[in-house]
Chains A and B, each alone.
Chain A
Amino acid sequence: MKQYIARRILLAIPMLLVVTFISFGLIHLIPSDPVEVALRVNEIIPTDEAIAIMREELGLDQPFFTRYASWLKQIARFDFGQSYINKNRSVSGEILRSLPATLKLAGMSFMIVVGVSIPLGIICAVYKDRLIDRAMRIFIFVATAVPNYWMGILLIWLFAVKLKILPTGGNQQSGAIILPAVTLSLTYIATYMRLIRNSMLENLTENYVYYARTRGLKEKSIIGRHVLKNSLHESIAALGMSVAQLISGTVVVENIFSWPGIGRLCISAIFNRDYPVIQAYILMMGVLFILCNLLADITQAMLDPRLQEVK
């Protein structure tokens, strides 16, 4: 088991390097000049001279790989540099300031996803082809097909404008988290409900279920103990990825609901060509995906003795 974990962590290292390179390189493909934008935002007229000074100040006159190397050195110490737009602010400070709101939103959504999709998935599998299963299939279809920015607007219209029971956005009022969290979780609820339903139905046809029945075990314990465990186990890998997707996926939802999280930070950084912030954001998300994947794999291996022995 220890060997397995060690090997997985070692495998993650080259992946991390690739992520750093992509998050650094990708941003340089944007056609506009960050120096000009930075000057404009600070209300300085972008003369050639001002641009040259600014460029040197930001280190942008160096060749690409020199900058990449020095950036790598920086981030190894968790120093993501200063924001181009507001030079008094460090990037890590900005991120730490907006991260809690995003984590709160993503955490809430994750709880909704797990709390809703697992029971509903089980119910759909048990009552396959009955009314509830058919209704849920329609829900799955709708929730998967409707993009969350539109769903968010619909929910605002219904609950905030028409019914006036929930705030339209922000995170000051109580209950403000409900709409964005629900919007964010709908797609995942649909995905996991379907995943768990299908995986349970598949497991129900397995020979071990048949053998359990011939031994007179209660259907409740066959489903609740054996089938559920095996199906959840199959879903863990996907769930791990979803944690990362939820955190990164808040970008759109945060902007609809004016949620002051990291997604909003990222969007404004993109508009302002604030390279350090964008790089830090992309890097963080990449690392997050790798970490979540790693954690999911390790959890899965811990629960499945078969995986621990794979050489």
Chain B
Amino acid sequence: MAETILQVEDLSVSFEKNGQRDMLVQNVSFQIEKNQCLGIVGESGSGKSITCKAILGLLRPPFHVTGKVSFLGRDLLLAEDTTLRKVRGSEIAMILQHPMTAFDPLEPIGKQMTESITLHKGISEKEALILSAASLEKLNIHQPMEVIQKYPHQVSGGMLQRVMIAIALVMEPAVIIADEPTTAVDAVNVATVVELFESLKKMRKTALVFVSHDLNVVARLSDQLVVMNEGSIVERGQVEEVLHHPQHPKAQQLVETRQALVNQFYRYVKRR
């Protein structure tokens, strides 16, 4: 029997402006089990990222969040700020799109890596640095100490992406939410990032939420698949099932687009 780690029930997010209420996410429910990957796909603006933010309690007014997010028995939506802060980054880690802008430009990478590690683990800067370096090494970065001393602008986007993953890994979180981690990465590096996540899945028994508008990438990684459109889940199921028998027109459209690209993609990956 698989162990449910994160359960989202009837999650709705609205945005209030000038007395008008816009529904951004409507009655979204899903659950993730240990050692599983849930893929969330949908067009830009379908509410994928907002859902991720809502799970971690990162939305503030004028956003309004209702529903239930149970994480290991706790409802995160009811949790206090201090409790949430301890969960963020240590039990549920996030990996974002746009790695180039995700770091403070005025601080070396290492300092930013250790900032959250020292906070969550209560260890010294030095120990955190050793952990960071070890984590980077696991992601095939051969000179971690060099990367640690560099500033974010001095390394590539793909490198920063790996730094983000390394930060997430150090804390050994129960859940990793990857919010469109391949969007900002060029075609050559998409394959690398996907491989990275694949090894991540094997390396740790973490539950992975993989958000993307790129069905190719999601299909390779996920066990379960959820298709979102205009704030609601329109299709869900095992990856193979959704890919081969899409029911909702939006899901069908996504799959059709994928068919056109998928052969090309695999040919490309094989060539590498």
List residues of chain A with CB under 8 Å of any chain B CB.
206-208, 210-218, 221, 226, 229-230, 233, 303-306
Contact = CB atoms under 8 A, between A and B. Distances in A.
B105 interface: yes
A139 B133 CA distance: 50
B144 interface: no
A217 B101 contact: no
A69 to B, nearest CB: 47
Contacts of A207: 96, 98, 101-102
Contacts of A303: 106
B127 interface: no
B107 A226 contact: yes
Contacts of B245: none
B120 A216 contact: yes
B96 A210 contact: yes
B106 A214 contact: no
Q: How big is chain B's contact interface, by range?
A: 20 to 34
Nearest to A230: B106
Interface stretch (B80-88, B218-226, B228-236): B80-88
Nearest to A209: B104
A217 B119 contact: yes
Given A216-B88, A217-B85, A217-B116, 7 more contacts: A208-B102, A211-B164, A214-B58, A216-B90, A217-B89, A218-B85, A306-B151
Contacts of A233: 106
A211 B88 contact: no
Contact of B154 (A212, A230, A305): A305
B30 interface: no
A231 B137 CA distance: 34
Contact of B106 (A211, A216, A217, A229): A229
Contacts of A213: 58, 88
B32 to A, nearest CB: 17
B49 to A, nearest CB: 10
Contacts of B240: none
Contact of A230 (B104, B115, B167): B104
Contacts of A212: 104, 115-116
A64 B53 CA distance: 71
B85 A214 contact: no
Given A217-B115, A229-B106, A305 B151 contact: yes
Nearest to B111: A225
B94 A214 contact: yes
A251 to B, nearest CB: 37
A211 B85 contact: no
A212 B88 CA distance: 10
Contact of B85 (A208, A216, A304): A216
Contacts of B84: 216
Contact of B88 (A208, A215, A304): A215
B250 interface: no
Contacts of B107: 226, 229
A20 B52 CA distance: 61
A294 B202 CA distance: 55
Given A211-B96, A305-B154, A306-B151, A216 B116 contact: yes
A306 B155 CA distance: 12
8 contacts: A206-B101, A207-B96, A211-B103, A217-B89, A217-B119, A218-B85, A305-B151, A305-B154
A233 B106 CA distance: 9
B211 to A, nearest CB: 13
B153 interface: yes
B65 interface: no
A221 B118 CA distance: 13
A157 to B, nearest CB: 45
A63 to B, nearest CB: 54
A113 B64 CA distance: 39
Contacts of A214: 56, 58, 88-89, 93-94, 96
B71 to A, nearest CB: 14
Given A207-B96, A210-B58, A305-B151, A218 B119 contact: yes
Contacts of B98: 207
A196 to B, nearest CB: 16
Interface in B89-134: 89-90, 93-94, 96, 98, 101-107, 115-116, 119-120
B104 A306 contact: no
